[in-house]
């Protein structure tokens, strides 16, 4: 437990990348990215991938290492990220993880429950039913097969009911195992060989929205329209169901004007940031800092946390 994973979380456009690089340089370590859309090499501008100067300033992992044509799940990421951390901790007992994808952060810090393997034929049949009947089919199946879990989602996170990928997963576990999805939750105890030190960046809402609007304008100047145009023929891929691309696909389809699409990107990114904040505010033991906090203050805090926890571990060991 003498390994420490400094984890930087917060809403989009808040400055997580810049902070992670400064901390990596200070501690002489590397960076694990857990942004679920920066994994894909075809998506650069719309996912705010660190630029070449930033990538050269500190070594990054899980940046544009996959293709949008590959199937890549949060479980895959958990396995690969933990293996990479095991490697990195051999060189330095302090490493950094950064990203705005809360589910992927949780995967590394806490892990997930152990679900049974589901036959591919079950998954394919559910997919066909969904394509024929829509999201209502998945909602009805989950309600019928796991009413408690369905009620919990409805009350706590109703947007999940509109997410076909997650809903298909819930239903396939129910059908493939013959048991409620919720019966597998909380059964597995995951252990980690590191202590997380979680840093959250925040800003007043108006300032956060201002930064988001400016970022979208910059993305358009840098060529987001052309990037989305190149991806448009594959717009139905799961990886491309992403803010910044969906709105421009509607423009290419003739459903909106370009100006309207850009305003929709800004609006939907602001909504996404609100959801990120809601998720991250539930993250245990997060130490929140204003996005303008001087790097020295954050560095001093991290060093103090490591010293305090190391002393606590040493006392426990010597008892």
Q: How many angstroms separate the CA atoms of 152 and 149, rounded?
A: 5
Cα dihedral 51/55/57/60 (nearest 10)? 150
Would the annotation count 12 as a binding residue?
yes
92 Cβ contact list (under 8 Å, min separation 6): 27, 28, 29, 30
Would the annotation count 16 as a binding residue?
yes
Would the annotation count 274 as a binding residue?
no
Q: What residues does each domain of the chain span?
A: 4-112+190-318, 120-184
DSSP letter for each residue of 115-128: -----HHHHHHHHH
Reading the block at residue 147, the tokens are 């009413």
Nearest Cα to Cα of residue 27 among 89, 106, 113: 89
Q: Check: CB of residue 116 under 8 Å from CB of residue 176.
A: yes
Would the annotation count 96 as a binding residue?
no
Would the annotation count 195 as a binding residue?
no
Q: How many angstroms separate the CA atoms of 77 and 88, rounded?
A: 16
**Helix, strand, coil percent values for the chain (each to nearest 5):** 60, 10, 30
Nearest Cα to Cα of residue 110 among 285, 277, 317: 285
Would the annotation count 100 as a binding residue?
no
Reading the block at residue 107, the tokens are 């995967």
Q: What is the pLDDT along the chain (319 residues), one digit of tens a residue?
A: 589 999 999 999 999 999 999 999 999 999 999 999 999 999 999 999 999 999 999 999 999 999 999 988 888 999 999 999 999 999 999 999 999 999 899 999 988 777 888 888 898 999 999 999 999 999 999 999 999 999 999 998 888 899 998 999 999 999 999 999 999 887 766 789 999 999 999 999 999 999 999 999 999 999 999 999 999 999 999 899 999 999 999 999 999 999 999 999 999 999 999 999 999 998 889 999 999 999 999 999 999 999 988 777 666 666 6
CATH number of 4-112+190-318: 3.40.50.300
């Amino acid at each position: 437990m003498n390994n420490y994973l400094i984890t930087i979380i917060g809403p989009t456009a808040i400055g997580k990348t810049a902070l992670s690089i400064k901390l990596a340089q200070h501690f002489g370590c590397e960076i694990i990215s857990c942004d679920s859309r920066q994994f894909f090499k075809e998506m650069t501008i719309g996912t705010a991938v660190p630029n070449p100067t930033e990538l050269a300033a500190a070594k990054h992992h899980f940046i544009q290492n996959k293709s949008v044509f590959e199937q890549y799940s949060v479980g895959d990421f958990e396995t690969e990220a933990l293996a990479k951390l095991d490697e990195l901790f051999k060189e330095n007992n302090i490493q950094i993880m950064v990203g705005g994808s809360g589910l992927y952060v949780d995967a590394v810090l806490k892990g997930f429950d152990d679900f049974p393997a589901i036959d591919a034929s079950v998954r394919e049949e559910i997919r066909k039913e969904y394509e024929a009947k829509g999201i209502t089919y998945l909602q009805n199946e989950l309600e019928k097969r796991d009413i408690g879990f369905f009620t919990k989602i409805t009350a706590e996170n109703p947007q999940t009911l509109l997410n076909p990928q997650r809903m298909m997963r819930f239903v396939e576990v129910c059908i493939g195992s013959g048991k409620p999805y919720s019966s597998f939750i909380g059964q597995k105890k995951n252990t980690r060989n590191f202590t997380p030190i979680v840093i959250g960046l925040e800003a007043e809402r108006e300032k956060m929205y201002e930064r988001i609007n400016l970022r979208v304008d910059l993305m358009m100047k840098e060529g987001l329209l052309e990037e989305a145009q190149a991806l448009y023929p594959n717009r139905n891929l799961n990886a491309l169901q992403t803010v910044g691309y969906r709105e421009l696909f509607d423009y290419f389809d003739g459903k909106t004007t370009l100006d309207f699409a850009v305003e929709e990107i800004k609006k939907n990114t602001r909504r996404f940031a609100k959801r990120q904040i809601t998720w991250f505010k539930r993250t245990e033991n997060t130490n929140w800092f204003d996005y303008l906090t001087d790097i020295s203050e954050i560095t001093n805090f991290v060093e103090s946390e490591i010293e305090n926890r190391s002393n606590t571990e040493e006392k426990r060991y010597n008892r």
